[in-house]
Amino acid sequence: ILNVEQSPQSLHVQEGDSTNFTCSFPSSNFYALHWYRWETAKSPEALFVMTLNGDEKKKGRISATLNTKEGYSYLYIKGSQPEDSATYLCASQSTGNQFYFGTGTSLTVIP
């Protein structure tokens, strides 16, 4: 079982601030890195899937980058809004198609 780590554990930012969080993962048997957004009382929903070193993905104000050589990914949120408040999970997908999740970063955007 792979050890995926996320930091920080929680984050409070003011509306309009930009923020970023980190996901680190082991390089062994790595296939892809996933980011999920998990709102309270809902199910996790996929944001991005990245496989190649240097990959960058963007969806609106949210973007992500991938560095497979050093084993980390960043998630960026530009101009945070209250509706961005959620837990952001990353998951490392192995070559055997298993998915291992980090413990998440809980983001609270204060109006």
Partner 1 sequence: NAGVMQNPRHLVRRRGQEARLRCSPMKGHSHVYWYRQLPEEGLKFMVYLQKENIIDESGMPKERFSAEFPKEGPSILRIQQVVRGDSAAYFCASSRTEPNEKLFFGSGTQLSVL
Which residues lie near partner 1 (CB under 8 A)? 1, 31-32, 34, 36, 42-46, 49, 51, 89, 91, 96-104
Q: Shortest gap between Cβ of 15 and partner 1 (angstroms)?
A: 27
Closest to partner 1 by CB, 97 or 111: 97
Based on CB atoms, which residue is closest to partner 1, 5 or 17?
5
Contact partners, residue 98, CB within 8 Å, separation at least 6:
2
Question: CB of 39 within 8 A of CB of 47?
Answer: no
Separation CA 43–CA 95 (nearest Å): 25
67, two tokens: 């560095």
Identity of the residue, 35 or 77, whose beta carbon is nearer to partner 1 in the bound complex:
35
